[in-house]
Structure 1
Amino acid sequence: MLNLLHDSFWMILFFAIAIFIGYFVHFILFRILKRITDYTTINLDKYLVKHLKDPVRLFFIIIAIRTAISLLQTPISPEIYAFLQSFLYFITLFAIGWSIVKLISVFEDFLIQKYRMDEKDNLFARKIHTQFMVFKHLGIIIVAIVIISVALLRFESVRTLGTGLLTSVGIMGIVVGLAAQKTGAALIAGIQIAFSQPIRIDDVVIVENEWGRVEEINFTYVVVKIWDSRRLIVPTSYFLEHPFENWTKTSSDMLGTVFLYVDYRLPVDELRHELLNILDQSPWWDKRVSALQVTDSKETTMELRALMSVADSSSAWELRCEVREKLITFIQKNYPECLPRLRITAESISKYAEE
């Protein structure tokens, strides 16, 4: 009994030392690689070191354990040896899958650096990011399915069931297809969005009367960040089955409008000149379009529409608010009598008095 405990203690200590050595070698190696990548001009090596650091550490530990098993002098019982082999088999598969997923992240960082989203004209970048986000999730799902399938083949009972599963796969496919009809439709909708792209990452949309930006596109749902930082979760099929507004479908530039209702005595040319002065001093105007027009005439007021061009939707909101505020201030200071008012004449008063 004492000999058994003695052997077990030294075996555990031997494996612990082997794991520590693998961890230490990995630490030194990646410390050196980090120093090397700090002096390189390309970013790909930096992304590889950043993302593959953790899965490679697991590979080093696996190699250290396997080396320790081969160097171990104390004989291992068949049960423990079989357990260790199965454990290392599953951990190796996990490390392989983890590495593949991290390589996808390396490619994602490369795309983010190459196709920047913070530029004004980012239409092509948003197209690339949208397609990659959808196929990234698809790739992770495929990797997970393959790794789990290979792991299950480790069991003899699963391999012997193969023939039986092939005969019943048709019936099971029909049953699963009926049970997961909506889920399957959502997955197909996600792939359709990746190719047809009615929406893209960072698109400005109006969905369910809410203004927001597309923040995430997944297989089954889309996350829209609303202007007040709330998130609207919308099924992907919604964008294929319902009409919605996409303000940045072809380009990010757009026209902003401001409506004013003023008295008929207001000199429109003076207000038009003031609008141009406001736009010239505004950092939000892109200097393409500016106009002030009388678009309607009502019983008591006339409707003026100020039209201005901007580079993106965020600038449109800022410029519209600025122009609206400054035009109202201009009218208040220079033409206060031209603000909307209700006229009551002496004739109308005497008419109502007689009635």
Structure 2
Amino acid sequence: MDMETVLRPVTVVGGTLVVTLIAGWLLDLLLRRADARHPETPLWGLLRRCRLPFQVVLCTSLLRGSYRRAGILPDHAFVVGRTLTLVLIASVAWLAVRIATAAVDSTYARYAAVTQDDARVRRVRTQVTLIQRVVTAVVVVVAAAAMLLTFPPMRTFGASMLASAGVLGIVAGIAAQSSLSNLFAGLQIAFGDTVRIGDTVVVDEEWGKVEEITLTFLTVRTWDERRITMPVSYFTSKPYENWSRGGAQMTGTVFWHVDHSAPVGLMREQLQVILQDVPEWDGRGSGLVVTDTTPHTVQVRAVVTAKDADDLWTVRCAVRERLIAWLLTHHPYALPRVVTSEAAPRPAP
């Protein structure tokens, strides 16, 4: 074996690796300096994630253009060329996804930093997440198609399939009707602003917060840390409660059953004293009234407010607990009781 036959491919491969490493280091250095000079945007710092796919693209491109003259595995030149082409297509798609992700994340971070409206921030976050998933899916599909088209038999197969594309489209549409409906429902949720990541919702009598939205499913995290995964088409075809829609502020009620002799006026005053010691109460409103009566008790209802559903739950529990404790301590006679007496004697015939 000729010495040059061995040294040339080793030199080319080694030189390519050295150039790739140096280029990657220079790119990272430039991005670090740009990030330090422009702290107002996280774009340059996020683009540092592109270093590895950039190096793979550069290395593969250099090898793809020189593997024949370098004599890398000359007996298998076709396989080497085809492999490098496939790797190049995949790495370009990887790089494109990383760049798009960095741009989208940077835009969202800058918007969230200057926007005080939490609802608008969550809306943009939902849209950005779904847009990012759509872009990734498109890039992956295009890359997969490009990789398949590098094989001559696939080109012939693709040309022959164009004649029956209409029939196949109808069949695929019928077969994937459910998946397509979820896909379009996901886009409708993203840009229709019906539900957003972080919204408090009630679905199927389960209360929780929207944790994740994809193009096909939505995840709700319940108060007891369970995850409910539902198709996004549910939120475009069935009614549900969105407690964050139009603002997170909420009004809640607390009910008690007390004796008819209960001091309602004093209970109303004590409610205000209790609310002053509950930090979750937002001060927007409160009240206490008698809403119903039965032969043995009266129903008393208190109305309280809070800035969101979590705080409202805390306020309701605190008011219920402390007012009962106050009645037990100062007005125990006001608690419900069962009054019994001897039955009247039966009149004589």
* TM-score higher than 0.5: yes
Which residue number in structure 1 is paired with residue 77 of structure 2?
A: 81
Tell me the alpha carbon deviations over residues 183-219 of structure 1, each in whole angstroms, 9 at most, x when there is no partner: 1221122122223232111111111111111111111
CA contact (8 A) 2:32 2:45 kept: no
331-340 or 26-35: which moved more? 26-35
Deviates more, 1:35-44 or 1:96-105: 35-44
1:323 corresponds in structure 2 to 319
Give the conservation status (yes or no) of the 8 Å contact 2:198–2:209: yes
* Residue 92 of structure 1: aligned partner: 88
Q: CA deviation at 1:226?
A: 0.8
Q: What is the aligned-residue RMSD (CA, Å)?
A: 2.8
Counterpart Cα distance in 1 of 2:327 and 2:314: 20
Task: Say whether residues 1:144 and 2:140 are aligned partners.
Answer: yes
Match of 2:20 among 19, 22, 41: 22
| Residues in 1 aligned to 2:69 and 2:34: alpha-carbon distance in whole angstroms | 34
Which of 91, 94, 103 pairs up with 2:99?
103
1:113 alignment counterpart = 109
Distance 2:112 2:346 in 1: 72
Count the aligned residue pairs. 347
Give the Cα separation in 1 of the matches to 2:84 and 2:240: 52
- Runs of 4 or more, structure 1, over 6 Å off, are 352-355
> C-alpha separation between the residues in 2 aligned to 1:177 and 1:99?
32
Aligned to 2:50: 52
Secondary structure class of the residue paired with 1:303: strand
1: CA distance, partners of 2:156 / 2:97: 31
The CA distance in 2 between the partners of 1:251 and 1:225, in whole Å, is 20
Q: What is residue 229 of structure 1 aligned with on the other side?
A: 225
- What amino acid maps onto 2:319 in structure 1? V
Deviation at 1:350, TM superposition (A): 3.2
Q: SS of the counterpart of 1:41?
A: coil
Supply the distance in 2 between the matched residues of 1:352 and 1:60 (Cα, whole angstroms): 105
Match of 1:132 in 2: 128
Comparing 174-183 with 158-167, which one deviates more in the overlay? 158-167
Of 286, 291, 300, 2:287 maps to 291
- State the one-letter code of the partner of 2:174: L
Judged with a 3 Å threshold, the aligned counterparts in structure 2 of structure 1 residues 352 and 12 are, in CA distance, closer, same or farther, namely farther
Which of 227, 232, 239 is equivalent to 1:243? 239
Structure 2 length as normaliser, TM-score?
Answer: 0.89
Change (3 A) 1:164 1:294: same
Structure 2 CA distance for partners of 1:264 and 1:19, relative to 1, 3 Å: same
Q: Counterparts of 1:284 and 1:322 in 2: how far apart (Å)?
A: 10
Report the residue type matching 2:128 in the other structure.
Answer: F
User: What letter matches 1:315 in structure 2?
Assistant: D
Q: CA deviation at 1:182?
A: 1.4
1:76–1:32 distance in 2 versus 1, CA, 3 Å: closer
> Which of 28, 34, 39 is residue 41 of structure 1 equivalent to?
39
Q: 1:288 to 1:7 in 2, by over 3 A?
A: same
In structure 2, runs of 5+ residues without a counterpart are none
Of the three residues 187, 191, 200, the one matched with 2:187 is 191
What TM-score do the two structures reach when normalised by structure 1?
A: 0.87
